[in-house]
A and B are shown apart, each in its own frame.
Chain A
């Protein structure tokens, strides 16, 4: 009885049992990793103790005491390191978001241009892509910053565009909108128009499904968004007035300014990333088989509809995953801002703050977790989108 029960395990000793071996192996690996981690932690602890280096995150509450050239939220020198963190984070996000939008636009144009029937356009797109994707982005940033934007005139000799926009080596100065009294009625009317449009679309779609009749949705929507706010403006007056930059002392005062550091990094990153996105888009469009185009044409779809209803939805499935990784790359590359003094997360936090406090481990840990969080969020978002448009197999 006992013998038969044990028979299956008689194949060999315990050590050749793959399951046992797997467990032993895994436990060993975990022990190894954990003890290595502990070793590093212990070293760091000893080093910090012995050398009297302060540790902990208490410094976040201390006053920073230095100025920052670009802050999207209010910031003064008396604010804390904690606030510096948010200033840096927002600056990083600004570069990433603007860069992603521009790179996507440019990339899609390039991708389509690569497949253009026009020989010249095709070749130009190819030259663009092969040039810019083979040059390090940091070098491109330097080029824009030092070689292109550096030699711009100083504020007193700015290039003047109608006394509203000024270009000089301090950046691009432009009028800033300031909310006037009539702002809220105006905003409300825009909101009402938008809600109306959404409702109209739903109603039109339901009607088309039910009766097959079309409704001129686009025209009606346009009318709605123009007429409603227009009427409010007539009644209540202009919603915004513009604060125009004026030269005063060394610099322009008032208005908005896009500093050259921001311009060069956004330009360089979107131009660089667009080259990759262009190739992605081309591959995506080419992956839609020609039969689809022919089938759609034979169903009587017009070229616009063909592109919108048949090609793009299918191409997007191929484009989205590599596009996501390009977005991630752009977000990570925004850290190159440190090279030209744009106050992003890396140059502010693991640069200035690290130096003022000397707490390398804490500042680096914070910086890296921010990037991890950004990366993970973009991945999750794009995964969700990818799942939504994925092929539903029947």
Chain B
């Protein structure tokens, strides 16, 4: 087995060195352009990030990232198809080429980046794991959770963080692991578990799904770093750059005050060289990425800048009403920072 593998590795390397890796890069963009749409892996139901509304239309931050990529490539945000994936399926779906981008509320970790054949393109949402409890329990800190029964989603980083946190604080707990967020929400409601743990954004999203959201609180402790972002397959730098710079473009647009309402106006009238470079009226920066000149205009016009996307889906303009917090721009006390276009 091992010998076959190494022989195979040697053969492939020897035979297709250079040629193959070169042909690999760019394969995704070519394929996407040929089929005419971006295939995007999203979650199977998470308010604020990706969920189907009553009409079956997908909405959320993760969905908007995909739409932005489609806007950048095709100038049309609707040229995207969505594959709802379970937590289990997501990596295989990307690895096997079933989807071109995986934008599914996925935490960027070293093992996922290195051992699973993914490349994370950036961070769309800085999150951290927290706890949701019923007020009736009278708990005000996670440190008081000794002996609690905790609901988690199977096979997520949350599962590992939870056990680390309880071990570090010398607390005992009983985990109940479910496949979908619906089940865990139902279980915390029925009292099968005392606590629901997940990324804080998800806890807020789950809370509005409960019958009596006001009976539940999210505890102050944040026990982990959860940078969530889209990922692409390893080995295709060109496609990696497109997805990465789509994110950067949205953040830069917010920083420069370009919104979906004023973008076309600004593109015509701007004197600011930063804006002009970003919107393609000066220089050929889109071309380097193999994208049309006005790619950022299309992204912002059809999807919006980062701030608009955030507000609409999880922020003040949504039911979740999550503060910007870590996700504010760098010059406003947050972590969202994008390299300049030049």
Binding site for B on A (CB under 8 A): 42, 45-56, 65-69, 77, 146, 150-151, 153-154, 169-170, 248-251, 253, 260-261, 338-341, 343, 347, 351-356, 358, 360
Contacts and interface: CB of A to CB of B under 8 A. Distances in A.
Interface of B: 2, 4-5, 8-9, 12, 24, 87-88, 91-92, 95-96, 111-112, 114-117, 137, 145-149, 154-156, 159-160, 162-164, 166-167, 173-179, 183, 186-187, 190-192, 194, 233-235
Contacts of A170: 149, 192
A355 B160 contact: no
B96 A251 contact: no
A69 B12 contact: no
B95 A47 contact: yes
Contacts of B173: 67
Contacts of B192: 150, 169-170, 260
Contacts of B179: 338-339, 341, 347, 351
Contact of A52 (B2, B145, B234): B234
A77 B117 contact: no
B88 A351 contact: yes
A149 B115 CA distance: 41
A225 to B, nearest CB: 39
Contacts of A46: 8, 12
B154 to A, nearest CB: 5
Given A150-B190, A341-B176, A341-B178, A51 B95 contact: yes
Contacts of A355: 87-88, 154-156
B91 to A, nearest CB: 5
29 contacts: A42-B8, A45-B8, A46-B12, A48-B117, A50-B117, A52-B117, A55-B5, A66-B159, A66-B162, A67-B162, A68-B175, A69-B174, A69-B175, A146-B186, A154-B191, A169-B192, A250-B148, A250-B149, A250-B194, A251-B149, A251-B174, A339-B179, A340-B183, A343-B177, A347-B154, A351-B155, A351-B177, A353-B155, A354-B155
A54 B115 contact: yes
Contacts of A67: 159, 162-163, 166, 173-175
A23 to B, nearest CB: 29
A253 B147 contact: yes
B92 A360 contact: yes
A347 B177 CA distance: 9
Contacts of A249: 146-148
* Best-buried of A51, A68, A339, A341 by chain B (most CB within 10 Å): A341
Nearest to B234: A52
A46 B146 CA distance: 48
A358 B91 contact: yes
B112 A358 contact: yes
Contacts of B9: 49
B5 to A, nearest CB: 7
Contacts of A50: 24, 117, 235
Contacts of A347: 154, 177, 179
B172 to A, nearest CB: 9
Nearest to B151: A341
Contacts of B167: 77
A51 B190 contact: no
A46 B95 CA distance: 12
A51 B12 CA distance: 13
Nearest to A248: B147
B117 A53 contact: yes
Contacts of B117: 48, 50-53
A177 B83 CA distance: 52
Given A66-B163, A69-B174, A251-B149, A358 B116 contact: yes
Contacts of B163: 65-67, 77
Given A170-B192, A355-B87, A51 B233 contact: yes
A229 B164 CA distance: 48
A364 B215 CA distance: 41
Residue from A48, A50, A55 whose CB has the most chain B CB atoms within 10 Å: A50
Given A154-B191, A355-B87, 19 more contacts: A42-B8, A48-B117, A49-B12, A51-B117, A65-B163, A67-B163, A69-B175, A146-B190, A250-B145, A250-B147, A250-B149, A251-B148, A260-B192, A338-B179, A341-B178, A351-B154, A351-B179, A358-B91, A358-B111
A53 B116 contact: yes
Nearest 10 pairs between A and B by C-beta?
A355-B155, A51-B117, A67-B175, A358-B116, A77-B163, A249-B147, A154-B191, A150-B190, A54-B115, A66-B159
Contacts of A154: 191
B234 A51 contact: yes
B122 to A, nearest CB: 20
- Most A Cβ at <10 Å: residue of B2, B96, B163, B166: B163
A392 to B, nearest CB: 48
Given A341-B154, A352-B155, A358-B116, A69 B177 contact: yes
Contacts of A54: 115-116
B149 A52 contact: no
B168 to A, nearest CB: 11
Contacts of A341: 154, 176-179, 183
A338 B154 CA distance: 10
B284 to A, nearest CB: 32
Contacts of B4: 45
A55 B5 CA distance: 10
Nearest to B146: A249
Nearest to A253: B147
Contacts of B114: 52
